[in-house]
Chains A and B, each alone.
Chain A
Amino acid sequence: MKPFEPFDSTLAILPFDHVDTDQIIPARFLKTTTREGLGAHCFADWRESPDFVLNRPESRDAQVLVAGENFGCGSSREHAPWALLDAGFRAVIARSFGEIFRQNAQKNALLPIEVDEATHRRLVEAPVGATVRVSLEGLRLPGGGVTAFPLDPFRRACLSKGVDEIGFVLEQEDAIAAFEARRSRAFDTRAEA
């Protein structure tokens, strides 16, 4: 994974709460066996309507999506952050997130940014074309001011250095082997008890 670099972007505003993963990427597109190419189907059903926010010209180049409460609730499909990334987004700002989505997003360097109501209102009401600056340290708002957002310090470190978490855990082989040695369990999915 590449280290996360700060960036500036305009905003695409999706003013709904509880945007679920079935909206972000409908199930019929989950038959793929790769991570690529899902952007074309991101919000596929909502995109059919010409006045859907993401079809508007002002949203075209936005790398930051702004939504309401509980964004990404629903299924565990990592296809949701893959689709958003492939559609050009690098961060999602919301009042809150579905827990599995938040973790999946972080693992793919799609930054989930949780903001309070006042900040959220400022973003939603910002003039068309307003920009934010996104970095791991904070979010610079349109019209000035930087707001911090919650980010697990470990994840922050992983994102800023581009740490591969699986490689990180593979290095703890000794601890894992010691744990396995401590427990004597006969359980095996390949052989009945």
Chain B
Amino acid sequence: MMPRTLYDKLWDRHLVSQREGEPALLYIDLHLIHEVTSPQAFAGLRERRVSVRRPGLTVATLDHSLPTHDRALPIADAVAAKQIALLRANAEAFGIPLHAPGSGRQGIVHVIGPELGLTQPGMTVVCGDSHTATHGAFGALAFGIGTSEVEMVLATQCLLQRKSKNLKVEVSGRLQDGVTAKDLILALIAKLGVGGGTGSVLEYTGEAIRALDMEARMTLCNMSIEAGARAGLIAPDDTTFQYLRGRPFAPRGAAWDAAVADWRALVSDDGASYEGSVHLDGGAVEPMITFGTNPAQAVPVTGSIPAVSEIAAPEREAFLKALAYMGLEPGKPMLGRPVQAVFIGSCTNGRLSDLRAAASVLRGRRVKAGVRTLVVPGSEAVRKQAEAEGLDEVFRAAGAEWREPGCSMCIAMNGDELAPGQTCVSTSNRNFEGRQGRGSRTLLASPLTAAAAAIAGAVADARRIP
């Protein structure tokens, strides 16, 4: 048999049919839904008078438009409240389990899937959300879909797909102390460019990847889409199995042993061929921060914004437009740029290890006066564990806000947003114009760098804070 890549194997396992001249019909093992991209899909089902084919392969939560203030308060935005009520009603009507606020299991869709053991190696996982790539950290083929495809999966449990290009991303060496998976992915996107992975599936391999824990692997895979990739993949290993064992929806007993034996086959064969490959020296990656309006516009936090002469001629106009929007100048250092807000959270960096990292910087220190600092756990489970460890006290004592789980200021459609012109160091994944509110300016970075910025009131290096 021809040597196959991990992607080939996942593809082959889910092939329902492949008819001449048509895209393949691919079976979907796990469908995650949330309030924003599902209402029109359910409306479509009703119009066609079909039910959800496999409600037991679908799971719902509330995250995007849900406010992160005290849950006892009503949802002030009537439009958001209606959207949230509609997901509750649709889940009820179609028999889909919903992890609602107060259940102990609500959270950002890409945080709760893994946390509950729903996401497992070898699965196909989809969600009406581009950061579904997160779940690829488990060796699952996971990608974002639009609402028409959400409707397709609800109705048929399948998708019509053409196979993507498969690129190998090898990261050698070891990340230095103070350098995180967020820095690694920002460095990688800077190297690939925002369109560098368009339409492809990236498989991350190499010593530096093997050394990452599951939460770091999720951070890495999460942002694959920011290089344009459909999905990111990491072959499952003992780190994966240890993370999953004992989680509520992970197999148990003999079924667990059988599953692990099966999952061990989910590696790319020696000699399997990819359409391309990229290499990065993990040991050379520095803490990174973005300066522009797309995630590829990033430099080391101790570095400078490129000079105009360093930018290729066709890119110059976009570069200058981005800097004008950001209120920044070419050639200037990033350290010391004033910031008015800090956001620690999101499906990229809203997990326990991220909060621990932020707390390690904030412990015993104070947020600079006037810098609004939001710490938003990715899920109710993360929130509970963080409180058990006293992290909430660290954040509050430092002067940060400790909020309820949700997408919060990653997307600014739930009440958490910046004022026009404000600059925020954010642990989220997109620095597009207006992403954190109209006229907002986002600098993407790791939780360590974000926490350091909160203390300094400016871009700062977490390795050198007074």
- Residues of chain A touching chain B, judged by Cβ–Cβ distance below 8 Å, are 16-18, 20, 22-23, 26-28, 30-35, 45, 69-70, 73-78, 96, 98-100, 103-104, 107-108, 152-154, 165-170, 172, 175-176, 179-180, 185-193
Contact = CB atoms under 8 A, between A and B. Distances in A.
A187 B249 contact: yes
A74 B433 CA distance: 12
Interface residues of B, number: 81
A35 B80 CA distance: 16
Contacts of A20: 294, 430, 432
A40 to B, nearest CB: 15
Interface string B312-329: 000100100100000000
Contacts of A22: 430, 432-435
Contacts of A73: 194-195, 228, 294
Contacts of B149: 103, 107
A191 B43 CA distance: 26
Interface in B39-84: 39-40, 43-44, 48, 50, 53, 55-59, 64-65, 77, 79-80, 82-83
Given A166-B48, A189-B55, A193-B255, 10 more contacts: A18-B294, A27-B411, A30-B413, A33-B86, A75-B129, A76-B130, A77-B146, A78-B128, A152-B23, A172-B156
A45 B434 contact: yes
Interface in B140-169: 144-149, 151-152, 155-158, 160, 162
Main secondary structure of the interface of B (DSSP, over half): loop
Contact of A154 (B21, B86, B97, B438): B21
B242 to A, nearest CB: 17
14 contacts: A20-B432, A26-B434, A31-B80, A35-B40, A70-B228, A73-B294, A75-B129, A100-B146, A104-B146, A152-B23, A166-B156, A172-B158, A189-B56, A193-B255
- Among A96, A98, A152, A191, the most chain B Cβ lie within 10 Å of the Cβ of A98
A34 B413 CA distance: 17
A75 B130 contact: yes
Contacts of B80: 31
Interface of B: 16-17, 21-23, 25, 27, 29-30, 36-37, 39-40, 43-44, 48, 50, 53, 55-59, 64-65, 77, 79-80, 82-83, 86, 95-97, 117-118, 120, 128-130, 132, 144-149, 151-152, 155-158, 160, 162, 194-195, 198-199, 228, 230, 248-252, 255, 294, 315, 318, 321, 411-413, 430, 432-435, 438-439
Contacts of A100: 130, 144-146, 230
A130 B52 CA distance: 48
A171 B230 CA distance: 27
Nearest to A179: B16
B146 A107 contact: yes
